Chain A
Amino acid sequence: MKWCVANPLVLSVLRSLLMSLCLIANTAMAQASDEPLSITVGSKNFNENYLLAEVISQLFEHAGYEVDRKFGMTGTMVIYEALRTGEVDVYVEYTGTLGQVILNYDGEPSLENLNARLTGEGVEILPSFGFNNTYALAIKREYADQLGISTISELVAQADIEMGFSIEFLNRADGWPGLVSTYGFSQRPTGMDHGLAYQAIDDGTIDVTDAYSTDGDLDRYDLQLLEDDLEFFPRYFGAPLINAELPVDARNIIDRLTGRIDDARMRDLNGRVMLDGKSFAEVAGEFLAEEGLVALSDNTSATATSMWSRLWRNTLIHVQLTLIALFLGCAVGLPLGISIYRSRRLSRSMLYIAGLLQTVPSIALLALMIPLFGIGQTTAIIALFMYSLLPILRSTITALLTIDPVLKRGAEALGMTRSQQLVHVLLPLALPNVLTGVKTAAIISIGTATLAAFIGAGGLGEPIVTGLALNDTSLILQGAIPAAGLAILTELLFDVLERSLVKPHMLVGQLPT
């Protein structure tokens, strides 16, 4: 980056940016390497799975482990892949899901059958907690009475009924497609987030949704489960799925939960979160105390402090993700823009490619990259980098192309070399527009980085994802407010940067005619 040398301010800003990057990376690494006994607990993004993951996490913490919570991952394949690659050590899976979705196995999903098929995967399922959380179709009790239906077969005949299902349910063999072939549905359901579906059913936007039989929300919204009269849904026993390399000590800790939670207990625990508004940490602590697995008292204080430290940690990770992605975006976008802007065809095709990347929905892009880069921060950073590329590249190319041709010719005619023209004339003139592009990229990154939580990369998206799963607005705000704050802070920082790098008369477009 030869051109930086010309402007000591640019250089010093870049240097401090780099230094803060290193600093953040260092603190994050120090946190990871301090504790010898550590475990990463994952969860899917619905309340029961969070709660059980929190139970396991607290159990480990009481045994002296440092626990890294990667909660709220979206989609079974994402979290399963994370377990397989060792980025997550344990999460709670359901036998039916494991058999049908992951292993494509139609037989009885007993522990032996499943483990026999899992051996090659480096993954192992431990004995169940005891409850069977099967899929079910839920309908408002009042409405079901009105229609006079109580079974799924009876629902088939109701042509006017509006169905809204979670995206995963819509696409699983043991979900909607299987229901259609078993019962012969002809209605067309819409896809929505599971957390929003109950709200939608309450509003009357939809009439039927998929539910879990241990769902604490069923009572809250006065929902009735329709009987699976053709016995289509397989059984879904909740059980810890672990990385096969997990040491015996850790297995023994998890094993202490075996058989302790039946259907009623699970519904009760779920209800404490959904109906009583308690946090996962509280309910998990209560459960462990009730079971005599840990004492209740030393539990609550730990969770109170962890709320703030988690918020701080999330913010740090968020800033780290954004900064690294933005830095990479600049490191690639600026030199690329500078080197290709003269060629109309190259600029067009590069902008086209960058624009194409931009149109891929964030979640899809993240999901697409999981097979390549695994889950976690690397994938998130690469995705954020791709999104930051377009605004940076476009602003660089446009800024350079729109410089007054008289000035370009003037610089040439004075006898400046190509690089002198770039350093002394072209880049300083392009700088205000380039900065605007980088600022746009930064703000897009801050927004998009909240989605990184879906693939376990953490950040401020974590409380948002959890809050969505729980329909808990305050939790959503714990992520959304700091994220908005970061965006505003970024705006202000760029204002300061702009004012220190660009002369005031160059900002307002008062160019001499």
Chain B
Amino acid sequence: MPIPCIEYSNITKSYGDKTILDGLSLRITANITTAIVGASGSGKSTLIQLANGLIIPERGQVSVFGSAINSQNITDNRLAIGYSVQGAGLFPHMSVYENITLMATLQRWSEQDTELRFHALMQLLELDQELRDRYPFSLSGGQQQRVSLCRAMMLNPPLLLLDEPFSALDPVTRDSIHREFLKLQHAETRSMVLVTHDMFEAIKLAQEIIVMCDGRIEQQGSVAEIQNNPASDYVQALFEAGGQ
């Protein structure tokens, strides 16, 4: 069996009295895009924040590309994990260029390498080079989200975590950013995990889908399997809700 990009073994995590994940185990296939779909509160966001150590489980083990993450190696591990969230989370005091290249600068990349990578990413996400010195507050929501994707991919991480990055965008912008996302999949092979509540977005962008409900895995499989054989009414309902 090939090494999964993320492997969860027997994870338990609760907030206060509320148990979100109870002994969950899960393997996410490497080198493809996997969508984690579920209603809000289903534990899908918790799942990807466990992978980059923003959330620490009470019990269980998370491994990224076969190596267990712990407090010692987490900072280094994060350099290999891109992360983009809803609302972009851009640093307001930094320009577009500074936001995207910050980590390369901190990793002491050469100026030339940084510049090359920056240009390639801006092009890939169809961002105008003129935006380079603008500050986040003067960008549209779609532009901010694209910049956030560029920042997540600057160091060319083998794993990219996306937490509802497109949910807050209007349908037209979302459509065009979806196209660029697909372009990205073709341009650079990497493992991507996309959290979304929109089943149609999942079908459009991912190769495998994991459906979550109340902290449990409701169904895991290829897009075709999920589409053709929804395992439960819950999965079925997600298609209907997304179609509205």
Residues in chain A within 8 A of chain B (CB atoms)? 406-407, 409-417, 420, 424-425, 428-429, 503, 505-506, 510-513
In B55-111, which residues have CB < 8 Å from any A CB?
75-79, 81, 83, 85, 87-93, 102-103, 106
Smallest distance from the beta carbon of B92 to chain A beta carbons, Å?
Answer: 5
Q: How far is the CA of A409 from the CA of B52 in the complex (A)?
A: 11
- CB of A413 within 8 A of CB of B83, answer yes
- List 13 A–B pairs whose Cβ atoms lie within 8 Å, in order of A's numbering: A409-B85, A410-B83, A413-B52, A413-B78, A415-B75, A416-B103, A420-B106, A425-B91, A428-B93, A429-B93, A506-B92, A511-B92, A512-B139
Interface residues on chain B, number (Cβ under 8 Å)? 28
Within 8 Å by CB of B106, from A407, A416, A503, lies A416
Max chain A CB contacts within 10 Å: which of B89, B102, B137?
A: B89
- CB of A512 within 8 A of CB of B78, answer no
Within 8 Å by CB of B103, from A407, A414, A506, A512, lies A414
- CB of B83 within 8 A of CB of A414, answer yes
Using CB atoms, name the residue of chain A closest to B102.
A424
Q: How far is the CA of A413 from the CA of B76 in the complex (A)?
A: 11
Smallest distance from the beta carbon of A489 to chain B beta carbons, Å?
Answer: 28
Q: How far is the CA of A363 from the CA of B72 in the complex (A)?
A: 52
Q: How far is the CA of A510 from the CA of B139 in the complex (A)?
A: 12
Q: Which residues of A contact B52 (CB under 8 A)?
A: 413
Q: How far is the CA of A503 from the CA of B92 in the complex (A)?
A: 10
Residues in chain B within 8 A of chain A (CB atoms)? 52, 54, 75-79, 81, 83, 85, 87-93, 102-103, 106, 135-139, 144, 151, 155
Within 8 Å by CB of B85, from A410, A420, A505, A510, lies A410
Using CB atoms, name the residue of chain B closest to A429.
B93
Instruction: Given contact pairs A413-B81, A428-B93, A510-B137, enumerate 5 new A-B contacts (beta carbons under 8 Å).
Output: A413-B83, A424-B106, A429-B91, A429-B92, A503-B135
Smallest distance from the beta carbon of A407 to chain B beta carbons, Å?
Answer: 6
Max chain B CB contacts within 10 Å: which of A413, A417, A424, A428?
A: A413
Q: How far is the CA of A114 from the CA of B52 in the complex (A)?
A: 80
Smallest distance from the beta carbon of A339 to chain B beta carbons, Å?
Answer: 20
- CB of A512 within 8 A of CB of B75, answer no
Q: Which residues of A contact B106 (CB under 8 A)?
A: 416, 420, 424
Q: Which residues of A contact B83 (CB under 8 A)?
A: 410, 413-414
Closest A-B pairs by Cβ, 5 of them:
A415-B78, A410-B89, A415-B79, A413-B83, A512-B136
- CB of B135 within 8 A of CB of A407, answer no
Q: How far is the CA of A513 from the CA of B102 in the complex (A)?
A: 21
Q: How far is the CA of A123 from the CA of B2 in the complex (A)?
A: 92
Q: How far is the CA of A412 from the CA of B102 in the complex (A)?
A: 13
- CB of A512 within 8 A of CB of B102, answer no
Using CB atoms, name the residue of chain A closest to B98.
A424
- CB of A415 within 8 A of CB of B103, answer yes
Q: Which residues of B contact A416 (CB under 8 A)?
A: 75, 103, 106
Using CB atoms, name the residue of chain A closest to B78.
A415
Max chain A CB contacts within 10 Å: which of B79, B83, B93, B144?
A: B93
Q: How far is the CA of A505 from the CA of B135 in the complex (A)?
A: 9
Q: How far is the CA of A425 from the CA of B87 in the complex (A)?
A: 17
Using CB atoms, name the residue of chain B closest to A503.
B93
Using CB atoms, name the residue of chain A closest to B168.
A513
Q: How far is the CA of A412 from the CA of B49 in the complex (A)?
A: 11
- CB of B103 within 8 A of CB of A406, answer no
Within 8 Å by CB of A407, from B54, B75, B77, B91, lies B91
Q: Which residues of A contact B91 (CB under 8 A)?
A: 407, 410-411, 424-425, 429
Given contacts A412-B54, A417-B75, contact A513 B87 (CB under 8 A): yes
Q: Which residues of B contact A406 (CB under 8 A)?
A: 85, 87, 89
Q: How far is the CA of A409 from the CA of B83 in the complex (A)?
A: 10
Smallest distance from the beta carbon of B235 to chain A beta carbons, Å?
Answer: 30
Q: Which residues of A contact B139 (CB under 8 A)?
A: 512
Q: How far is the CA of A428 from the CA of B135 in the complex (A)?
A: 14
Q: Which residues of A contact B93 (CB under 8 A)?
A: 428-429, 503, 506
Within 8 Å by CB of B88, from A411, A414, A510, A512, lies A512
Within 8 Å by CB of A511, from B75, B137, B138, lies B137
